[in-house]
Amino acid sequence: MKKVILLLMILFLMGSIGCGTISKSVFVKPKPPEMPQEPSYYSVEWKDCDGNYCLDEENAGNLLKNKSLIDDFVNQLKATIKKFQ
């Protein structure tokens, strides 16, 4: 008899604290991060020097600036990819 009363008390307490309720799962899709915009590059003109291609000082500087812009853009893309993981 004591076991039955104890069992009824446990069932009553479980019902009163909400252990037997079923909750609905809600899945939230995170908003994907914004993709970085590709930079605008400096113009570079290659010149023909006796059958070879060469650059003057200004175009060589523009080529180095473009390399720096590309490196920064690649790093931004890598950071965006890491956010997806």
Predicted pLDDT of residue 11: 73
Q: Which residues pair with 47 in a beta bridge?
A: 54
**Angstrom distance (rounded) from CA 80 to CA 34:** 8
Among 58, 66, 59, smallest CA distance to 45 is for 59
Using a 10 angstrom Cβ sphere, with 0-12 exposed, 13-18 middle and 19 or more buried, the burial of residue 42 is: middle
* pTM for this model (two decimals): 0.59
- Do residues 84 and 71 touch, judged by C-beta distance below 8 A? no
* pLDDT tens profile 46-56: 999 899 999 99
**β partners of residue 52:** 49
